[in-house]
Chains A and B, each alone.
Chain A
Amino acid sequence: MGRLSVNLCGIELDNPVIPASGTFGYGHEYAELYDINVLGTFSFKGTTKDPRFGNPTPRIAECTAGLINAVGLQNPGVHQVIEQELPKLKGCFHKPVMANVSGFSVEDYVYTCSLLDAQDQVGWLEVNVSCPNVHGGGMSFGTNPASAAEVTAAVKRVAKKPVIVKLSPNVTDIVSIAKACEDAGANGISLINTLLGMRIDLRSRKPVIANTMGGFSGPAIFPVALRMVYQVASNVHIPVVGMGGVSSAEDVIEMMMAGATAVEVGAANLIDPFCCKSIIEQLPGVMDRYGINQISEIIGGVENG
């Protein structure tokens, strides 16, 4: 067991660094750049029952220390993911992958999760009840405890693999939703998805994003994400995967101190495609600097002053 290894819901990760869904495709673009087996794992592009084009463009708006996206779950659908993306991934990634799933009804989630659960390459199901960019689905399941629990319980009934529920920060009380998912059988919680945001073009006086609003991510949201990870991790007994604006090895350590067992890196991949590799390489040195021997020992290690 290396210094960086952590155990996420019963599966050993060589390190806690996980590229976040929607920023890493199905792995191929990055596999052209570096050996993606250096990663703990990665969470693949949010996958739905049917193929989706997603929202109209522009889908991207730049912000100070971040960006807004309104991609709207563009993906080829679960059948093509199983028939084409996963076999292709086998050629460049030999670890269990995290399957990110979205849906528009409880039945959708169950259908897509049961198919992906049966794939040998899939280690975890990350159930996204928090996409801010689609109507009548996604985030609407994650904005109240009862519906989040309903999706969780339904997926748990068909899944043999660990189920990690990905939560939205666009709620009044994220802890109550996390607890409802835990009570419904979730094996882990991941957070935060993007914060709902908006930009206006001063010349045209129109929203920059065709869909008006989108999900804000990047370093600007790190303190908000860290706070929510801390709140959730302090109140549930299942592993928490922390994400939101993580861009450096120091950010990873900070997220873990707040209570994260593993850490997802999202927007940073889009700016520096090598960032996850760099973070993993830098972690041992940063750990030395802060007197950390084994990275798992700092999980939830924040000391309350």
Chain B
Amino acid sequence: MKQSVFQILENKPLTDCVYQMVLQGDTSAITAPGQFVNIRLDGLYLRRPISVCDLQQDRLTIIYKVVGKGTQQMASMTDGELDILTGLGNGYDLTKAGDDPVLIGGGVGVPPMYLLCKKLIEQKKHVQVILGFNTASEIFLEQAFRDLGVDVTVTTVDGSAGTKGFVTDALQNMNYSYFYTCGPEPMLKAVYRSTTTSGQFSFEKRMGCGFGACMGCSCKTITGFKRICKEGPVLQKEEIAWED
């Protein structure tokens, strides 16, 4: 983990309420896709944890949905500096991917799949991607994934674009060696039930510090208590103990 100041290079809307921010600064503490950063904002006491979408040398890209005061404030920024803690969380473990991993992202769970996808391609994996949204107007990052040259399946719940249905519907007809997923908890549960291989899930929880000190985001797993911010946010399929 590192604390450093990042310059905002770009901040633009991708949909009605989803924004992409490109930052420049010391990214050396970021060691794996699936990690997150924790951003300090003026006038708000707690930092805002946001997943890493892309990384190119000293350029960090994050994608966030405007849901409250913090993300509203972020959406209004065009330049300036941000105090950011980087290199938080465990991130995805690429060593288990096998030859044909599938990446399953839903809504704001899509961004961390991007850097993961790039890293798996670097390892010469045959990557398939499923991106799930509610409706056509909420789709983002589809072209960016296609530009990486991977097989992309988009699903929308209302059928306004791509395959009608859920990510798990697209998964039915697929052969894969392993899976990686991030998205809302109902989707994660559905993926848990419908996948036939092992895989990794990224979880979201309300955090205090984001670096393991406050125990605000703990969860129970089959292998013991874990802090989502420290031993997570990525858990192995085999260790997940759903709360209900």
Q: Which residues of A pack against B, CB within 8 Å? A: 22-25, 29-30, 32-33, 45, 53-54, 56-67, 69, 71, 74, 218, 269-274
Q: For the complex, is B213 an interface residue (Cβ under 8 Å from A)?
A: yes
Once the chains bind, are A57 and B205 in contact (CB under 8 Å)? yes
Partner of B214, one of A64, A270, A274: A270
Q: For the complex, is B222 an interface residue (Cβ under 8 Å from A)?
A: no
* A64 vs B45: C-alpha distance when bound (angstroms): 7
Partner of A33, one of B1, B46, B208: B1
Partner of B45, one of A25, A58, A71, A218: A218
Once the chains bind, are B218 and A57 in contact (CB under 8 Å)? yes
* A215 vs B47: C-alpha distance when bound (angstroms): 19
Identify which of B205, B207, B209, B215 gathers the most chain A CB atoms within 10 Å of its CB: B215
- Given A53-B225, A65-B45: A270 and B220 interface contact (C-beta under 8 Å): no
State the Cβ distance, A257 to closest chain B Cβ, in Å.
26
**Closest CB pairs A-B (n = 5):** A270-B209, A60-B216, A58-B206, A60-B208, A74-B215
State the Cβ distance, A115 to closest chain B Cβ, in Å.
21
Closest A residue to B206 by CB, please name it.
A58
State the interface size on chain B (CB cutoff 8 A): 26
Once the chains bind, are B45 and A273 in contact (CB under 8 Å)? no
| Further 9 A-B residue pairs, CB within 8 A, beyond A272-B3, A273-B85 | A33-B3, A58-B205, A59-B215, A63-B45, A65-B45, A69-B208, A71-B214, A270-B209, A273-B209
* A145 vs B213: C-alpha distance when bound (angstroms): 32
* A71 vs B215: C-alpha distance when bound (angstroms): 7
Partner of B213, one of A25, A63, A66, A67: A25
* A65 vs B209: C-alpha distance when bound (angstroms): 15
Please classify the interface of chain A as helix (H, G, I), strand (E, B), loop, or mixed, using the class held by over half of its residues.
Answer: loop
What are 15 residue pairs bridging A and B, where the CB atoms are less than 8 Å apart in the complex? A29-B213, A54-B215, A57-B216, A57-B218, A59-B218, A64-B45, A67-B46, A69-B216, A71-B216, A269-B213, A270-B214, A271-B47, A272-B3, A272-B40, A273-B209
Partner of A274, one of B3, B206, B215: B3
Identify which of B85, B207, B208, B211 gathers the most chain A CB atoms within 10 Å of its CB: B208
Write out the residue numbers on chain A whose beta carbons fall within 8 Å of the beta carbon of B215.
22, 25, 45, 54, 59, 71, 74
Partner of B207, one of A24, A29, A60, A274: A60
Partner of B1, one of A24, A32, A60: A32
Write out the residue numbers on chain A whose beta carbons fall within 8 Å of the beta carbon of B219.
57
Once the chains bind, are A67 and B205 in contact (CB under 8 Å)? no
Once the chains bind, are B206 and A273 in contact (CB under 8 Å)? no
Closest B residue to A269 by CB, please name it.
B213
Write out the residue numbers on chain B whose beta carbons fall within 8 Å of the beta carbon of A33.
1, 3
- Given A57-B206, A74-B225: A23 and B45 interface contact (C-beta under 8 Å): no
* A22 vs B225: C-alpha distance when bound (angstroms): 17
Once the chains bind, are A62 and B44 in contact (CB under 8 Å)? yes
Partner of A29, one of B40, B211, B225: B211
* A53 vs B208: C-alpha distance when bound (angstroms): 17
State the Cβ distance, B72 to closest chain A Cβ, in Å.
14
* A2 vs B223: C-alpha distance when bound (angstroms): 47
Write out the residue numbers on chain B whose beta carbons fall within 8 Å of the beta carbon of A64.
45
State the Cβ distance, B55 to closest chain A Cβ, in Å.
21
Write out the residue numbers on chain B whose beta carbons fall within 8 Å of the beta carbon of A45.
215
Once the chains bind, are A67 and B220 in contact (CB under 8 Å)? no
Write out the residue numbers on chain A whose beta carbons fall within 8 Å of the beta carbon of B216.
57-60, 69, 71
* A24 vs B40: C-alpha distance when bound (angstroms): 19
* A54 vs B42: C-alpha distance when bound (angstroms): 31
Interface string of B1-24 (1 = CB under 8 A from A): 101000000000000000000000
Once the chains bind, are A59 and B45 in contact (CB under 8 Å)? no
Write out the residue numbers on chain B whose beta carbons fall within 8 Å of the beta carbon of A56.
243
Q: For the complex, is B127 an interface residue (Cβ under 8 Å from A)?
A: no
Once the chains bind, are B213 and A53 in contact (CB under 8 Å)? no
State the Cβ distance, B218 to closest chain A Cβ, in Å.
6
* A125 vs B194: C-alpha distance when bound (angstroms): 52
* A213 vs B85: C-alpha distance when bound (angstroms): 29
Once the chains bind, are B218 and A23 in contact (CB under 8 Å)? no
Once the chains bind, are B3 and A66 in contact (CB under 8 Å)? no
* A219 vs B46: C-alpha distance when bound (angstroms): 12
State the Cβ distance, B60 to closest chain A Cβ, in Å.
19
Q: For the complex, is B34 an interface residue (Cβ under 8 Å from A)?
A: no
Write out the residue numbers on chain B whose beta carbons fall within 8 Å of the beta carbon of A59.
206, 208, 215-218
Q: For the complex, is B212 an interface residue (Cβ under 8 Å from A)?
A: yes
